[in-house]
Amino acid sequence: METHRDPVRPGETSPITIIVDGAPVRGLDGQTVAGVLMGAGRLAWRTTRNGRPRGVFCGIGVCHDCLVAVNGLPDVRACQRRAADGDSISTEEQA
């Protein structure tokens, strides 16, 4: 939510940019890869073998629905991996 209206009053943090399937996506330092994607309005990024869209389901690293490739390494849980500025994320590489 918008920081100035947030009752939790989050502190200042630096913006980061990650590259998702070749396109830059802006996020905040400290967010997970899933947090950056969802903050940018994306709800789904993986496709199952049967062509069904998937994104975050459990949010705590159990379900593995949110897998992405990070800097060429496949099968990384987007909800668990902290995004680093410049990370290259691919949603197309599947194991």
Task: Check if the beta carbon of residue 21 is closer than 8 Å to that of residue 68.
Answer: no
Taking CB under 8 A as the criterion, the residue among 20, 25, 32, 90 binding another protein is: 32
CA dihedral over 15, 40, 63, 67, signed as positive or negative? negative
For another protein, give the closer residue by CB, 23 or 49. Answer: 49
- Positions 46 through 65 that interact with another protein (CB under 8 A): 48-50, 52-65
Q: Which is nearer to another protein, 26 or 82 (CB)?
A: 82
By CB under 8 A, tell whether 15 contacts another protein: no
User: Residue 16: CB partners within 8 Å, gap ≥ 6?
Assistant: 26, 27, 28, 29, 31, 36, 83, 84, 85, 86
Task: Give the binding-site size for another protein (rule: CB under 8 A).
Answer: 52
Q: 20, 38, 89, 90: which one contacts another protein (CB under 8 A)?
A: 38
